[in-house]
Structure 1
Amino acid sequence: EWYCCRECQVKHWEKHGKTCVLAAQGDRAK
């Protein structure tokens, strides 16, 4: 996903980071 600036990316991760990490861990567990 593309962000206009680093700040926008950081804000996105503050909101969705945990969900994304959990999803990634689930994929690895398979």
Structure 2
Amino acid sequence: MKDVKAKAESPIYADMLRLIQQFSVRSNSI
């Protein structure tokens, strides 16, 4: 669980999550 928290706090991982969220939002709107 500590590893997951560390990844979530890392800016690169946060950026990837943001990109994935944007992509899923775009797919849903089509």
Secondary structure (helix, strand or coil) at the match of 1:20 reads helix
The percent of aligned pairs where both chains have the same amino acid is 0
2:27 aligned partner, one-letter code: D
Distance 1:15 1:27 in 2: 18
RMSD (Å) for aligned C-alpha atoms = 1.4
Of structures 1 and 2, the larger Rg is shown by: 2
| Residue 27 (structure 2) aligns with | 27
What is the aligned residue count?
24
- The TM-score, its normalising length taken from structure 1, stands at 0.51
Distance 2:18 2:27 in 1: 14
